[in-house]
Amino acid sequence: MTTQQSFTRHDITFPSGDSTCAGWLYLPTGVTSPPVVILGHGLGAVREMRLDAFAERFAQAGIAAVAFTYRHFGDSGGHPRQLLSIKRQLADWDAAIAYVTARTDVDRTRIAVWGSSFGGGHAITVASRHPELRAAISQCPFTDGLASALALGPAASLKVLPVVARDLAARGRGKPPVMVPIAATPGSSALMNAPDALPGYQALQPPGTTFRNEVAARVIPTILTYRPGRAARKIAMPILFCVSDTDSVTPPAQTLRYARTAPKGEIKRYEAGHFDFYTGETFEVLVRDQIEFLTRQLKPAAAASAP
């Protein structure tokens, strides 16, 4: 039986681009220079939406954790609000790695990245660009924009085009962004309208969350052309892919094709939906698998008994 360590959580901010990202730093109690894993979320999501649950378990296993919110969302900086920029979010990951590397209370030579959903795609991209990392985890990852658009359906994809046009026009005139829902009911105009998308997002929101169910529509063309799965073959370190076999948002068949190209890739498959990964028994199974993987790759100190 594995004993659990206690930990402390600290509010942090770190610079990224022209603004700052807000986050939490989890430090295992009584551990000198622990390894660290950096956690980033999915489409428009903020760290309060269950990143803390994963980070706490990692810290209890002797692994420090940084869970952050992208610029333009939640309590992080950046204007306009609700701007989902792939380029900026990848820069936020780079900034998070730089922040961790500059700290003296963690082991900068044992860093891993962990991303879920859209952040799972980012984790693939980031791992391919940072060979100094020790490991990566990509959970129910967005790997191919075209595949996700096809899963959404051509009719739903066409519905958002007028909103995109209005937002691009607004940007050209210096006006506030025109928003599109992140998650909505089936048949609605949104980034995700699978039957489990809206209730899935709602289930992740704690009381008082800073989450807003909308983003600037201008991101949609860039999502369609974002194919982070293609970078899997370039990842030098071990990477764990946690794949939902019934994923309604990020089609598993394409994800598995990409995952199999990673030279040191490991694949775990789960009979659970995209949004089931964050709660209940599926979460418990998932986080145990992830701790086992991170323990093998990062080699944290043996857990001391909590007081």
The string of pLDDT tens digits covering residues 51-75 is: 999 999 999 999 999 999 999 999 9
Give the residues across from 180 on adjacent strands. Answer: 215
Question: How many other C-beta atoms are found inside a 10 Å radius of the C-beta of residue 254?
Answer: 18
Look at the block and give the residue holding tokens 């899935």. Answer: 200
Domains, the chain, ordered by start: 7-152+227-298 (3.40.50.1820)
What is the C-alpha separation between 93 and 69, in angstroms, rounded?
Answer: 10
Give the three-class secondary structure for 220: helix
pLDDT value, residue 148: 81
pLDDT value, residue 236: 96
Short-list 251, 18, 290, 258, CA closest to 128: 258
Give the three-class secondary structure for 148: helix
Short-list 13, 167, 25, 158, CA closest to 82: 167
What is the C-alpha separation between 92 and 41, in angstroms, rounded?
Answer: 12
pLDDT value, residue 263: 98
186 φ, ψ to 5°? -55, 135
With beta carbons less than 8 A apart as the criterion, state whether 116 and 41 touch. Answer: yes
Q: What is the percentage of the chain residues whose pLDDT exceeds 70?
A: 95
With beta carbons less than 8 A apart as the criterion, state whether 2 and 303 touch. Answer: yes
pTM as predicted: 0.94
Short-list 46, 207, 19, CA closest to 118: 46
∠ CA 252-255-258, nearest 5°, is 150
pLDDT value, residue 43: 93
The CA R_g of the chain, rounded to the nearest whole Å, is 18
What is the C-alpha separation between 146 and 250, in angstroms, rounded?
Answer: 10
Low-confidence ranges of the chain (pLDDT < 70): 1-3, 151-157, 302-307
